[in-house]
Amino acid sequence: MNNKTTKKAICILSGGMDSTLASYIAKKDGYEIIAVHFNYGQRTQNRELKAFRDICDDLGILEKYEIDIPFFTQIGASALTDKSIDVPTNGLEVGVPITYVPFRNGIFLSITAAIAEKEKATAMYIGVVQEDSSGYPDCTEEFINDISKAINQGTREETSIEIKTPLVHLSKAQIVEEALKLNVPLIHTWSCYKEEDEACGVCDSCRLRLNGFNLANQIDPITYKVNL
């Protein structure tokens, strides 16, 4: 009889390159993965959901949550959830961009913490990137440390959840290199903020991804309308 206790991790999996790599790292770390994906009214919601399901199949994930949180479209204030605001395509700018969704990761992590407590998971993986990113304030190590304390204070005494951010200090080129080392099926991932059929190549997310591949001297397997 095998009495070995399985350790569980909840992986926040958008279907993008970063969250997918974080999930593969969780698998390498020996966790049984439960995946969670959020449909929050983003422009590429259907395409991201397809990517999530494909990656869950690739990882052999049996238990997953697809959570609908449509209130982000009511809040608006982001080009990702308010279609009256154009997605910027002229390159990265200094400061917090209009694609920032107010407190998105804080809300994602709070919901994921509820799932982790229910599932008796001891870890939550999120693919936030601080060093080489769009400049979102909810992607910093400081924010993750603070919300981790709040989550553990606001759950049962016996609940202990570690938020793991394996990519937080990596560059996009390093993320590409690590993904290739772990045989991550990058062709199944989706990063574009704007389009669902073919990646635009000019939004901030596409630019960061393409630059990472270029610096790593690798070719991105997905197709782009424009490849700068």
Which residues on neighbouring strands pair with residue 224, listed in sequence order?
Answer: 199
Of 68, 150, 161, residue with least CA distance to 106: 150
Judged by DSSP in three states, 177 sits in helix
CA angle, residues 24, 146, 157, in degrees to nearest 5:
85
Residues 151-203: pLDDT tens digits? 999 999 999 999 999 999 999 999 999 999 999 999 999 999 999 999 999 99
Of 18, 194, 173, 191, residue with least CA distance to 89: 194
Q: What is the pTM of this model?
A: 0.96
Secondary structure in 3-state letters for 43-73:
CCHHHHHHHHHHHHHHHCCCEEEEEECCHHH
Residues 69-118: pLDDT tens digits? 999 999 999 999 999 999 999 998 889 999 999 999 999 999 999 999 99
